[in-house]
Amino acid sequence: NAGVTQTPKFQVLKTGQSMTLQCAQDMNHEYMSWYRQDPGMGLRLIHYSVGAGITDQGEVPNGYNVSRSTTEDFPLRLLSAAPSQTSVYFCASSFGQGARTYEQYFGPGTRLTVT
Amino acid sequence: SQQGEEDPQALSIQEGENATMNCSYKTSINNLQWYRQNSGRGLVHLILIRSNEREKHSGRLRVTLDTSKKSSSLLITASRAADTASYFCATALYGNNRLAFGKGNQVVVIP
């Protein structure tokens, strides 16, 4: 199993540009999520999905869109990049069933710089 | 909002010593999890302790949970240079799979 994969590893954008960060998992996990990690801030939840066709907002959703058309893929779209979105982005997945919470598996991250 | 809050935030120890980190949280939880992050890498799950458990072991790791004080501790025994990393606690609320992460503890193990 490849686990959770993310592309690209690094990206530089100019203010106002848009792009999509890709995330895929091959563990048949229902739950997937996107976090951003900033120095001294820990990880903050951007968006999450409990299954194909179902997404919801996390703690810091503004400026980002997600969709979940398949169980495997959960892309994160930056609509109009801003310098405040400079961060490291992590995708994670977990087996989710009802109210129980399980360990999350993380991808290697995408380091994004917006100039 | 940040649910977990680790203390201390930076720890430097000699190889072979034990390292202890604490985490506090504010609301009732389903479970609490600890993760490790090596520099420049993704997070790796270490251990999960449920709200009805008080202590859990995994290899050189020992986690305790005190729901009355809303706190948890992670103990790494006989530390090794490879344990150098940031350690995060994360809390899970009832009814969903969302995790709220603390800001992390940076641990440096000196060979």
* Whole-number pLDDT of residue A42: 84
- Which residue from B12, B30, B43, A44 is spatially nearest to B21, judged by alpha carbons? B12
A99 pLDDT above the threshold of 80: no
Nearest residue of B to residue A59 by CA position? Answer: B1
Q: With bands split at pLDDT 50, 70 and 90, how would you rate the model's confidence at B1? A: very low
End-to-end CA gap in chain A: 36
Could you tell me where the DSSP H helices lie in chain B? none
In this predicted model, which residue has the larger pLDDT, A77 or A103? A77
Q: Report pLDDT for B7.
A: 62
Q: Could you tell me which chain A residue has the CA closest to the CA of B96?
A: A99
Residue A46 has pLDDT above 90, yes or no: yes
Question: Would the pLDDT of A90 be above 90?
Answer: yes
* Chain B CB within 8 Å of residue A39 CB: no
Q: What is the DSSP letter of A73?
A: B
Q: How many CB atoms lie within 10 A of CB A63?
A: 14
Most A-contacting residue of B41, B97, B106 (CB-CB within 10 A), to test interface: B97
pLDDT above 70 covers a percentage of chain A that reads 96
CA distance B6 to chain A (A): 10
Instruction: Say whether the peptide bond before residue B8 is cis (omega within 30 degrees of 0).
Output: yes
pLDDT given for residue A40 in this prediction: 75
Q: What is the dihedral of CA B92, B95, B96, B97, to 10 degrees?
A: 50
Assess contact for A23 and A31: CB atoms under 8 A. Answer: no
CB contact under 8 A, B103 and A40: yes
Cβ contacts of B15 within 8 Å, gap of 6 or more: B79, B80, B81, B109, B110, B111
